[in-house]
Amino acid sequence: MLTTVFIFLFCLLYTVAIAAQTKGAEDSNTTIDVTSAAVLDARTLVRNLGFGKRVDVKLTDGSKTSGRITGVAADRFVVTNSKGAVKPIAYREVSRITRQNEKLGLFNRPWVGIMFTAAGVGTLIVLALQFFD
């Protein structure tokens, strides 16, 4: 009986954690349009987003770049893409900044989450059986 309660609580907490993360990810898309008169706002936005956040940046010349903010200075910030290419961007060159959704890599592949859940439930069952012997 106790094993069943443990398994039920584990599955319930796991489901609540996934639902909370999904809800937070839906609310995290932020798009800010930046004019040349609002360079200070672009600087403030980048500093508020913080180091390591994923962003899409559209420049005034029409080009786009995306990646993580890996550096912040007084006149520019640095975006590093997933392949490691580094691009310094001056705040005056920014037309728009969009914050990308953050996801745990675990939830990009559902079968990995299922494997971890099965391993956790199996561990709880083995521990419960050992406890009652």
Q: What percent of the chain has pLDDT over 90?
A: 10
132 membership: H or E segment, kind and range: helix 110-132
Q: Is the pTM above the cut of 0.85?
A: no
**Predicted pLDDT of residue 64:** 92
CA torsion sign for 54, 45, 51, 72 is positive
| Cβ contact 55:99 at 8 Å | yes
Do 90 and 34 lie in one domain? The reply is yes
Confidence tier at 13 by pLDDT (50, 70, 90): low
| Whether 79 contacts 57, CB under 8 Å | yes
Mean pLDDT of the residues in the chain: 75
Type of residue at 21: Q
Per-residue pLDDT at 19: 56
Q: What is the pLDDT of residue 16?
A: 61
Angstrom distance (rounded) from CA 126 to CA 120: 10
Same domain, 71 and 38: yes
Which CATH number does the domain housing residue 34 bear? 2.30.30.100
Task: Check whether 78 has a pLDDT greater than 80.
Answer: yes
